[in-house]
Amino acid sequence: MNFLTLMETFAVVVETGSFTAAAEQLGLSKAFVSKQVSALEKELGTRLLYRTTRKLSLSEEGTRLYNHCQLIMREAQNARAEIIESQSTPRGRINITIPQSLIISGVGSLLLDFQAQYPDIKLNVIASGRVEDLVEKGIDIALRVGQLEDSTLISRKLADCTFQVVAAHSYLERNGEPTEPADLTHHNCLIYGESRSNRNWPFQLPDGEFITIKVKGNLTCNDGTLIYNAVLNGQGIGYGPGFLYAKPVADGKLKSLLTEFSQPTTAISALYPQNRNLSRRVRILLDYLAERLNS
Distance CA 110, CA 144 (A): 16
Domain stop point among 30, 62, 83: 83
Phi, psi of 209 (to 5 degrees): -75, 140
CATH number assigned to the domain comprising residue 41 = 1.10.10.10
CB 98 within 8 A of CB 126: yes
CB 220 within 8 A of CB 194: yes
The verdict on 260 and 201 lying in the same domain is yes
Domain stop point among 63, 83, 103: 83
Distance CA 77, CA 82 (A): 8
- Give the model confidence (pLDDT) of 104-144 as tens digits: 878 888 999 999 999 999 999 988 766 667 777 788 898 98
- What SS3 class is residue 290? helix
**pLDDT value at 56 more than 90:** no
Higher pLDDT, 195 or 41: 41
The verdict on 152 and 282 lying in the same domain is yes
- Give the model confidence (pLDDT) of 244-294 as tens digits: 888 899 999 999 999 998 877 788 899 888 766 678 889 999 999 999 988
- Is-above-0.85 flag for pTM? no
Distance CA 241, CA 145 (A): 8
Domain stop point among 83, 105, 137: 83
152: domain range?
A: 92-160+267-293
The verdict on 287 and 155 lying in the same domain is yes
The number of distinct structural domains making up the chain is 3
The verdict on 133 and 277 lying in the same domain is yes
The verdict on 26 and 105 lying in the same domain is no
The verdict on 199 and 169 lying in the same domain is yes
The verdict on 156 and 272 lying in the same domain is yes
The verdict on 206 and 258 lying in the same domain is yes
The verdict on 147 and 239 lying in the same domain is no
- In the prediction, which pLDDT does 275 show? 63
The verdict on 194 and 175 lying in the same domain is yes
The verdict on 102 and 140 lying in the same domain is yes
CATH number assigned to the domain comprising residue 223 = 3.40.190.10
Sign of CA dihedral 256, 258, 261, 263: negative
The verdict on 156 and 75 lying in the same domain is no
